[in-house]
Amino acid sequence: MSTESLDRSNPAGAIAEAAKAYSNWGRWGEDDRLGTLNFLDEAKRREGAALVRRGVSFSLSQPFDTNGPQKGWRRRTNPVHTMLDTGMDAALGHQPFPHGLGGADDVIAMPLQCSTQWDGLGHIFDHGKAWNGRDAEKVVTSEGDQVTGIEHMAPYVAGRGVLLDVGRLIGDNGELPDGFAVTEEHLNRTAGAHGVTVGRGDLVLVRTGQLTRVMRDGWGEYAGGDAPGLSFTTAGWLHRTEIAAIATDTWGFEVRPNEFEPAFQPLHQVAIPHIGLLIGEMWDLDALAADCADDGVYEFWLTAAPLPITGAVGSPVNPIAVK
Res 99 pLDDT > 70: yes
Question: In this structure, are strands 314-316 and 278-281 parallel, antiparallel, or unpaired?
Answer: unpaired
Please give the pLDDT value at position 171.
Answer: 95
pTM over 0.85: yes
What's the CA dihedral at 117, 120, 123, 126 to 10 degrees? 130
> pLDDT confidence of 5, banded at 50, 70, 90?
confident
Rounded average pLDDT over 162-167 = 98
C-alpha dist (Å) from residue 138 to 105, 133, 147, 223, 277: 38, 11, 9, 30, 20
Where do the domains of the chain lie?
3-74+111-322, 79-109
Contact 163, 209 (CB under 8 A): no
Residue 1 has pLDDT above 70, yes or no: no
| pLDDT digits 0-9 by tens, 54-73 | 999 999 999 999 999 999 98
**What are φ and ψ of residue 291, in 5° steps?**
-70, -40
| CB 44, CB 160: distance < 8 Å | yes
β-strand 158-164 against 181-182: which pairing, if any?
Answer: unpaired
Alpha-carbon span 322 to 141, nearest angstrom: 38
Q: Per-residue pLDDT for 265 more than 70?
A: yes
Q: What is the DSSP letter of 305?
A: P
The whole-number pLDDT of residue 6 equals 85
Angle at 284 between CA 206 and CA 80, to 5 degrees: 135
Cα 287 to the chain's mean position, in Å?
17
Q: What is the pLDDT of residues 235-252, one digit of tens each?
A: 999 999 999 999 999 999
Taking only the tens place, the pLDDT of each residue in 9-57 is 999 999 999 999 999 999 999 999 999 999 999 999 999 999 999 999 9
- Buried b / exposed e along 247-259 (16+ C-beta atoms within 10 A): bbbbbbbbbbebb
Could you give the C-alpha distances from 204 to 81, 144, 169, 187, in angstroms and in order? 31, 28, 16, 11
pLDDT of residue 37: 98
Neighbours of 244 (CB within 10 A): 25
pLDDT at position 4 over 90? no
CATH topology of domain 3-74+111-322: Glucose Oxidase; domain 1 (3.50.30)
State the burial class of residue 179 (Cβ atoms within 10 Å of its Cβ: 0-12, 13-18, 19+).
middle
- Coil/strand/helix, residue 106: strand
Cβ 243 vs Cβ 204: under 8 Å: yes
